[in-house]
Amino acid sequence: MIGRRLIALPIMIFGVTILVFFVMALSPIDQAYSVLGENATEAQVQQYREDHGLNDPILVQYGNYMVGLAQGDLGTYGANNASVAERIGQALPVTLQLTFFGLIIGVVVAVILGVVSALYRDRWPDQIIRVFSIACIATPSFWLAVLMILLFSSMLHVLPASGPLPPLVSDPGGWLARMALPAIALGVPVSGQLTRVIRTSMVEELDRDYVRTALGAGIPKSVVVARNVLRNALITPVTVLGLRIGYLIGGAVVIEVIFNLPGMGMAILSGIQSSYTMLVQGVVLVVAITFIIINIIVDMLYILIDPRIRTV
């Protein structure tokens, strides 16, 4: 199964490059005019197209693009011929930091609420957590982000909603304060979904015979839950979590624009606003490939940790 995942990885990446390239090729934006400006002469435009291979057939352009991509060259953008790869190299770490910070918040909250909800099933804590988790699922991240900016930044003035992002290594406190609001906005919907999944898995495990046998033998319930039930119940949420990581990356792109974080979201926004086709194409391609790679890695981890698969 791991072998099939590894074989599928380059095939899916190749498919993503085809999709992204040909969709961007259909864009009405003229790359020559976006770089040279609307006042460029026809001779300058034709010279730019010739120098950058824009007059070649579309399949030749795709072949040249793949050759450059294999060498780590995603092209250039703007009048200064800035490197798309360098821009993505600066933006991608910010997006990944936000994604995994939001993921940590969502997972911690979901595990706590899911376990409590299962242990007190059909009682008032379970009912309250059910309402809370449904509300989290129904809350869009971008809407929650706006509300938190109004409350914590505009009214209470306790957390910043914009400004430079301090380095994590040299200024962890400043980084945490700057990342807190966007990470919470990103992690809340995930926590609601995982809470329901963990609660269901925990309930199924608590009803199994080995739990009743262990409790009948006098083993404390807390020990049984911590050592056996929780470990077995988290196998299914790991699969759901793998899917959510990919969607978190996409959600982080939107959240970055709201909080003015210098990540992939701001990169693609600046590319769209300035009609930089190569920048938009590069950002979309990297985000899509990151989504695929992370999901395959999580699938492989699931295969390795699930005893039911290892015994097949």
Looking at the structure, tell me whether residues 68 and 99 fall in a common domain: no
Cα separation, 25 vs 277, whole angstroms:
9
Q: State the residue for tokens 């930044």.
A: 153
Domain count across the chain: 2
Longest Cα pair distance anywhere in the chain, in angstroms? 88
Does residue 78 lie in a domain region?
no
What is the pLDDT at residue 1?
67
Examine the fold and report which residue of 30, 49, 73 is the final residue of a domain before the chain moves on: 73
Looking at the structure, tell me whether residues 46 and 154 fall in a common domain: no
Examine the fold and report which residue of 73, 104, 131 is the final residue of a domain before the chain moves on: 73
User: Could you tell me if 167 and 175 are in contact, meaning their C-beta atoms sit under 8 angstroms apart?
Assistant: yes
Is residue 309 scored above 70 in pLDDT?
Answer: no
Looking at the structure, tell me whether residues 64 and 92 fall in a common domain: no
Cα separation, 245 vs 286, whole angstroms:
15
Looking at the structure, tell me whether residues 166 and 283 fall in a common domain: yes
Does residue 312 lie in a domain region?
no
What is the pLDDT at residue 302?
65
Does residue 169 lie in a domain region?
yes
Looking at the structure, tell me whether residues 120 and 54 fall in a common domain: no
Q: Is 256 left (phi over 0), alpha (psi -120 to 50) or beta?
A: alpha
Examine the fold and report which residue of 73, 93, 128 is the final residue of a domain before the chain moves on: 73
Looking at the structure, tell me whether residues 220 and 122 fall in a common domain: yes
**Model-wide pTM > 0.85:** no
Does residue 235 lie in a domain region?
yes
Cα separation, 163 vs 172, whole angstroms:
15
Looking at the structure, tell me whether residues 40 and 172 fall in a common domain: no
The residue-averaged pLDDT of 228-243 equals: 77
Looking at the structure, tell me whether residues 249 and 106 fall in a common domain: yes
Does residue 310 lie in a domain region?
no
Does residue 108 lie in a domain region?
yes
Looking at the structure, tell me whether residues 211 and 89 fall in a common domain: yes
pLDDT, one tens digit per residue, over 93-108 is: 998 899 889 989 988 9
Q: Sort 44 into a burial class: Cβ within 10 Å, 0-12 / 13-18 / 19+.
A: middle
Handedness of CA 267, 274, 15, 50 (dihedral sign): negative
Name the band, by pLDDT with cuts 50, 70 and 90, for residue 311.
Answer: very low
Does residue 161 lie in a domain region?
yes
Does residue 272 lie in a domain region?
yes
Is residue 128 scored above 90 in pLDDT?
Answer: yes
Cα separation, 265 vs 258, whole angstroms:
9
CATH number of the structural domain spanning residue 146: 1.10.3720.10
What is the pLDDT at residue 184?
92
Looking at the structure, tell me whether residues 94 and 67 fall in a common domain: no
Q: Which of 278, 300, 295, 305 is nearest to 88 (CA)?
A: 278
Looking at the structure, tell me whether residues 113 and 165 fall in a common domain: yes
What residues make up the domain containing 216? 85-305
Looking at the structure, tell me whether residues 29 and 110 fall in a common domain: no
Name the band, by pLDDT with cuts 50, 70 and 90, for residue 122.
Answer: confident
